[in-house]
Copies of this chain bind each other. A is one copy, B any other.
Amino acid sequence: MSIMERCDTVREGDWVLLFSDKVRIIARVERGKQICTIRGIIRLDDVIGVRYGSKVRTSLGHELTVTRPRIDEIMLEKYERPTQVIYPKDAAYIILRSGIGPGNIVVESGCGSGFMTTFLAWYVRPNGKVITYDARREFIEIAKKNISLLGLDKYVEFRERDILRDGIDLPDNYADAMILDMGKPWEALNEAYRVLKSGTTLVIYVPSILQVERVLRKYRSAGFEDPEIVEILQRKWKPSPDELRPDTWMIAHTGFLVFLRKP
């Protein structure tokens, strides 16, 4: 898969970024496909076999550089998003702080649009897996489709199941990490505890501080320790050397991250 290997030349199925000053396209390379730009048509057949970093021309002679997009760019542009998603700034910290890495078994509930699931799949490769639960079939369908775009679906098991009502159908001491992104995570604490291995991390992602309060009132009776509550803020700067200053606006809030340790 293009997104995981990085060959020198463009092959069918690869994701490419075609850009110039005027044009910016992210597309998956398919034979026979054409893309209309404001500077003419580009035939994707012309891109196959071309070296990454080189140029191709549209029907109007406009030159486009052929390169690879980042996976977060593909996600942002091509993923269907019926739900709020976990942003890269939060996903990154969740993954590192909970020690998720290659070979891990990670459990998630719910899958939402599959953003977090994608990042998890990316990092548990090549011999780990993500098991993701959602009670709503339509979200599972969307998440599955989204993740397939990047060829990462083979690292993910989707399970349609309401874990609050029906529990988690996994053995004790099984998972290397678990992420709860759901309305009432405090109701899943006992099951999460059971399924996690000793010494691993439960991550709870909630938008409201009162949800954090609820978790804090319950985690101890479920057996967890060492709570840590974190907000991650990302401030971008205008990348202009003559007018160097932070952007005027920033995202001030996505969610609170609560980390708990199963001892």
Interface residues of A (CB under 8 A from B): 4-6, 8, 17, 19, 51-53, 65-72, 88-89, 91-93, 95-99, 101-103, 119, 122-123, 125-127, 173, 176, 197-201, 207-210, 212-213, 216-217, 227-254, 256, 258, 261-263
Contacts and interface: CB of A to CB of B under 8 A. Distances in A.
- Counting from the closest, the 5 A-B pairs by CB-CB distance are A68-B199, A52-B198, A250-B252, A53-B198, A246-B253
Given A19-B263, A217-B241, A230-B237, 8 more contacts: A53-B199, A72-B99, A88-B97, A229-B236, A245-B256, A247-B252, A250-B250, A252-B252
A232 B233 contact: yes
27 contacts: A6-B200, A19-B263, A52-B197, A53-B263, A67-B198, A69-B199, A70-B98, A70-B99, A70-B199, A89-B232, A92-B95, A96-B119, A102-B123, A103-B125, A126-B126, A207-B243, A207-B245, A208-B243, A209-B245, A229-B237, A230-B237, A232-B233, A236-B252, A247-B253, A248-B253, A249-B249, A249-B252
Contacts of A247: 252-253
A225 B53 CA distance: 12
B123 A123 contact: yes
The SS class assigned to the A binding surface is mixed
Copies of this chain, complex-wide, total: 4
A65 B97 contact: no
A70 B101 CA distance: 12
A250 B99 CA distance: 23
A198 B69 CA distance: 10
B101 A122 contact: yes
A204 to B, nearest CB: 12
